Amino acid sequence: MLVVGDRMRYIQTIVILHVLASSAFACQCEVIAEPNKAFEHSSAIFVGRICGLRKENDSVNIGSSAYNIQVSVVTFCVEQSWKGVEGNSFDILSDYSSCDYNFEINGRYLVYAESDSLLKGRSYASKCFPIKKAEEAAEDIHILDGLKDGVSPKR
């Protein structure tokens, strides 16, 4: 039976463990807020509308161990691209990392994507890039147009 003092220590311990566990799995990355820097670090950049979503089983190799995971694959119908997109659609992996950008179904976005060897070269979109809804991205799109043309416009 717990007495009041023990109960308080027990509750404090639970709270501390919860906070430590949450921070241990929180997204940790260098935020790249400027479109010109994101242009340099991205493997693909485009504006598109989400036109599909599916679940997929995959495996990730870390060191000598393989881990089975289930990921979401978000398919975008591409309207305009600046880098790394061939064709009219582009797949982004989601639901595998705490840094994943949380897209809304049927949303239209300016997307900066990276590819990763752990994901077998497949692309993902991170909260660390300046991804935004397309209707809020006019200034970024202007900058990207200049970068694609070899001009570095000022913000």
Q: Please give the tally of structural domains in the chain.
A: 1
Q: What is the pLDDT of residue 11?
A: 45
**Could you tell me if residue 85 is inside a domain?**
yes
**Could you tell me if residue 26 is inside a domain?**
no
**Tokens of residue 17, six digits:** 């463990």
**Could you tell me if residue 16 is inside a domain?**
no
| 21-60 confidence digits (pLDDT tens) | 333 457 887 888 899 999 999 999 999 999 999 998 877 7
**Could you tell me if residue 11 is inside a domain?**
no
Q: Quote the pTM value.
A: 0.75
**Could you tell me if residue 13 is inside a domain?**
no
* Structural domain for 121, as ranges: 35-148
Left, alpha or beta for 28 (phi > 0: left; psi -120 to 50: alpha)?
Answer: beta
SS3 7: helix
The C-alpha atoms of residue 62 and residue 51 are separated, in whole angstroms, by 32
- 120-148 in b/e burial notation, b at 16+ Cβ within 10 A? eebbbbbebbebeebeebeebeebbebbe
**Could you tell me if residue 66 is inside a domain?**
yes
| 123-146 confidence digits (pLDDT tens) | 889 888 999 999 999 999 999 999
Task: Residue 136: give its domain's CATH number.
Answer: 2.40.50.120
